[in-house]
Structure 1
Amino acid sequence: MGWRRIKLKTVVKQVVLAVAAVQGATLLALMAIDQRRKRNRAAAVFPRVPPRSVTAGGSEVTVYTYGEDLYYDMLGAIRQARTEVFFETFIWKSDGIGESFKRALVDAAERGVQVYVAYDGFANLVVPPAFYDLPPSIRVRRHPVIASPFRLFRNSGRDHRKLLVVDHDVAFVGGYNIGSLYATDWRDTHARLTGDIVWDMRNAFIDYWNLFVGSGRPALPDSGSDHWQPEIRVHRNLPRLLVYPIRNMYLDAIDRASRHIYLTHAYLIPDSDMLAALMRAARRGVDVRIIVPAESNHIVADWLSRGFYGQLLRSGVRLLLYQGAMVHAKTATIDGQWSTIGTANIDRISLLGNYELNIEVFSPDVARQLEEIFAVDSSNTVELTATEWKSRSAMVKFSETVLAPLRPLL
């Protein structure tokens, strides 16, 4: 009996090692394909919608779909700052655009503005460390590459947020990182906010900053607000506090849908609840459409995402593959009433792991604007049909099966 157990363990171990070897080989092959693809990629060409402002309650919302337009207004806001600038980003490149933001922040500090900066250490490992040598007048938090061993799970999330708040006047949030590539070659979505909601955006930065105060990094004053903003809500994933409301926001909104759901996402790797919610909506007659990149900047994420395409297509969800550029937006709009713009992808890393920030907007005007953007984006897509998906090669199907166990990691 003991001999049989030993033999079974040996067989199981060999199978696990064999599967791991096949997975490793598949990943290496995909990475090689990705490198060749990136070298031969043509310049990005895609339709874009000029920024336009609409009101939502006591706030104004301006939606951007082109990086140059966004960066122009963000830099303008920093250059006009009088009292404070809160700047937080996931990726901050040391190229021309990155230098422009660095110069604007330094200039603001030199004229007496209180400048606070937060950026993610892991996301910027390829950036020369000297780029982040900022004067002492700028207070900086570099979100650590490795979490504290004393709070490994609660500190493990990356700071994936992209947020700028200037004075008490204006805030920017959305999918755009800081860099020249994103200015012209990526299709992303960001929002500019003024009015009552700016307090909420300031508070989002202050609460994040104050989670990590210590020697050399004093706490920011945390004051209450005289305004309640029913039309716009701010949802923040905070791993340190084990709080992840963005996932629940999506599930609740999808469950309410009765007419249409339009999502645009860079990486679509839903967990079982999110997948079931989308399929249930389609089966009850809701027009569910999802724009995803035909080829994203992460080929492994593409292949993991494709593992869900069959189930989605069979349930009636329409998948629209964006052409000619990386679409990096994280947006949704439902039934002409509800919308969200933010930093969280539909994957486990964003919804159950990272520090993220999304606004939830209850406004027909904002929904109408996002629907118009979705229509323009749809004109630059190719719809994937169930017949086309079934006809993919046996090797592709095998590779998807091999990589399937990796889905929970993303």
Structure 2
Amino acid sequence: MIGYVNLRRLGTWLRRILLGLFGSQLLIIAVLTGIDSYRKRFRPQPSFPYCLPQTLADDSGDVRIYTFGADLYDDMLADIDAATTRIDFETFIWKSDGYGQRVKDALTRAAHRGVDVHVIYDRFANLVVPRRFFDLDPKIHVHEHPLLRRGQPAWLPTSWARTHRKLLIIDSKVAYLGGYNIGDLYATDWRDTHIRLSGSPVPELENAFIDFWNADARPVLPEVTERTWDSPVRVHRNIPSLFTFPIRSMYLEAIDRANRNCWMTHAYLIPDEGLTSTLIAAASRGVDVRIIVPAASNHVVADWLSRGFYRRLLEGGVRLFLFQNAMVHAKTATIDGIWSTIGTANMDNLSLAFNYELNVEILGAETAQVMEGIFSQDLGNCVEVTLEEWERRSIVAKATEAILAPLRPLF
């Protein structure tokens, strides 16, 4: 009897502790969000260096890399206007502003001149966009990725997975992929990275679009038949409905192979234990491991969750750099002057173990050289975080990180 009473008391105290922790987390999130919203009113106009689009050519086709949204959108719009047979367009966020309307109008024009246009967008990501904006022309085939994916039990986390992909394919000849959503903000105020590909990688990306489309949308699209085994560009796609998440494995393998340098840029740095230990192991064997993250991202809670990893990474020899004066939203890495990746997946659990994502993996010295040049330019707009400085942060900051730490697996 005494043991039963003690167990009940223990259970009561555990519930109180958990409820107290949860309440503290909610309070901290509310306070951080409020402070961040207030500060945004007084932040200066974003400014940052960027590179002009650079085009490379190899046996697989042309590669063009973008670091400024307006340059990217101009080329995307030109290719949409030049399309003659089919357009496949997929995005996470699609704003109903200037550039958003220009993309919508270009797709409508293409459909009216006989181009077969297919559009995928994520419902949840566009909840704040007026619904009438997505009343697209009847000639356009549209799939709105729903809040809850049909055909799977609602209790499965993968049923709630978002399509975080940003993909455009023109006439099966040209493909765009990267971190840029569609909107005026991203055109000028965010530092992101996107890639335009031609040649052998295009059928692989087209196949990724078709597989996703055919799983839930109609009319059914024909499968791609002209794919190759020998392209220096490989496509990796996370498919939650199949519990398949190869992008994380791609990163682990590439970092584990690094001998000279591993330079990464990520909007949100919330790595799991495997990625954290692999980065530290690379640094411990003498690899120059550097990671650029935003000094202040568009998600303040993600920033605080990310900071909980800084001490361990810094102690392990990883160098961290905070991008100043703008949001850096890129999802890129380059290693040893030969390996690079550009895509849609962030370094967090939402991207690597939950959402639909696409990354290309490129083996080539020329592409790696361009990526290293972009990284070096971005470094000039960063402030490095040192372990000594980080240890001097306030006790309030340390306590906030500790209270929020249990939320890391959810981000």
Shorter-chain-normalised TM-score: which range? over 0.9
Size of the aligned set, in residue pairs, is 407
Which amino acid in 2 is paired with 1:211? A
Instruction: Write out per-residue CA displacement over residues 222-278 of structure 1, whole angstroms, 9 at most, x where no aligned residue.
Output: 031153343000001111111111000000000000110000000000011011100
Whether 1:46 aligns to 2:45 is: no
Aligned to 1:62: 64
Contact 2:200 2:227 in 1 (8 A): no
1:329-354 residue CA offsets vs partner (Å, 9 max, x unmatched): 00000000100000000000000000
Cα separation, 2, equivalents of 1:134 and 1:16: 47
The 10-residue stretch of structure 1 (150-159 or 22-31) with the greater mean CA deviation from structure 2: 150-159
- 1:122-137 to 2 correspondence within 5 Å? 122-137=124-139
In the other structure, the counterpart of 1:81 is: 83
Q: String of CA shifts for 1:364-392, please: whole Å, max 9, x gaps.
A: 00000000000000000000000000000
Match of 1:157 in 2: 161
Query: Residues 148 and 207 from structure 1, CA distance in 2 versus in 1: closer, same or farther, beyond 3 angstroms?
Result: closer
> Which of 97, 110, 123 is matched with 1:121 structurally?
123
Distance 2:234 2:240 in 1: 19
> Structure 1 stretch 135-144 or stretch 227-236: which is displaced more?
227-236
**Percent identity among equivalent residues?**
54
- Aligned partner of 1:370 in structure 2 is 371
Distance 1:23 1:155 in 2: 26
1:56–1:231 Cα contact (<8 Å) kept: no
Letter in 2 for 1:176: Y
Query: Structure 1 residues 11-20 or 126-135, which shifts more?
Result: 11-20
Corresponding residue of 2:300: 299
Contact 1:258 / 1:335 at 8 angstroms: preserved in 2? yes
Structure 2: how far apart are the matches of 1:312 and 1:223?
43
Q: 2:194 aligns with which of 184, 190, 195?
A: 190
The superposition leaves residues 116-154 of structure 1 with CA deviations (integer Å, 9 ceiling, x where unpaired) of 000000000000000000122111010101233733323
Distance in 2, matches of 1:162 and 1:43, equals 26
Q: After TM superposition, list the pairs within 5 Å mapping 1:160-309 onto structure 2.
A: 160-213=164-217, 217-225=218-226, 227-309=228-310
Give the match's secondary structure for 1:269. Answer: coil
**Retained in 2: the 8 A contact 1:66–1:183?**
yes
Match of 2:18 among 16, 36, 39: 16
Q: Aligned AA for 2:195? A: A
What residue ranges of structure 1 are gaps of 5+ in the alignment? none
TM-score (norm 2): 0.97
Q: Is the 8 A contact 1:162 1:175 kept in 2?
A: yes
Give the Cα separation in 2 of the matches to 1:149 and 1:5. Answer: 42
* 1:35-87 deviation digits (Å, cap 9, x = unpaired): 01221121111001000111243221100000000000000000000000000
How far apart are 1:187 and its partner, in Å?
Answer: 0.1
Report the Cα distance in structure 2 between the residues aligned to 1:149 and 1:205, rounded to whole angstroms: 19
Aligned equivalents of 1:253 and 1:149: distance in 2? 35
RMSD between superposed Cα atoms in Å: 1.0
**Change in 2 beyond 3 A, CA 1:250/1:270:** same
SS at match of 1:150: coil
Q: Secondary structure at the match of 1:145?
A: coil
Structure 2: distance between partners of 1:218 and 1:149:
18
Return the offset for 1:156.
2.0
The letter of the residue matching 1:54 is L
| Inter-partner Cα distance in structure 2 for 1:395 and 1:70 | 42
- Counterpart amino acid of 2:380? S
**2:160 counterpart SS class:** coil
Gaps in structure 2 of 5+ consecutive residues: none
- The 1-side partners of 2:12 and 2:244 are apart by 42
Deviates more, 1:358-367 or 1:226-235: 226-235
3-state DSSP of counterpart to 1:211: helix
Match of 2:326 in 1: 325
Q: 2:398 aligns to what?
A: 397
- Does 2:94 align with 1:92? yes
- Note the C-alpha offset of 1:105: 0.3
Letter in 2 for 1:38: K
Please tell me whether the aligned partners of residues 152 and 159 of structure 2 are also in contact (alpha carbons under 8 angstroms).
Answer: no
Letter of the 1:341 partner, please give it: I
Q: Distance in 1 between matches of 2:351 and 2:160?
A: 12
Q: Using the alignment, how far apart are the partners of 2:224 and 2:236 within structure 1?
A: 19
Residue number among 4, 17, 40 corresponding to 1:2 in the alignment: 4
Matched position secondary structure for 1:292:
strand
Q: Distance in 2 between matches of 1:90 and 1:302?
A: 21
Q: Does structure 1 residue 315 correspond to structure 2 residue 316? A: yes
Instruction: State the alpha-carbon separation in 2 of the partners of residues 245 and 314 from structure 1.
Output: 29
C-alpha distance after superposition, 1:286-327 (max 9, x if no partner): 000000000000000000000000000001100010001000
Would the aligned equivalents of 1:57 and 1:229 in 2 still touch at CA under 8 Å? no
Does 15-24 or 295-304 show the bigger shift? 15-24
Residue 89 of structure 2 aligns to a residue whose secondary structure is: strand
Shift in alpha-carbon separation, 1:218–1:149, aligned structure 2, 3 A: closer
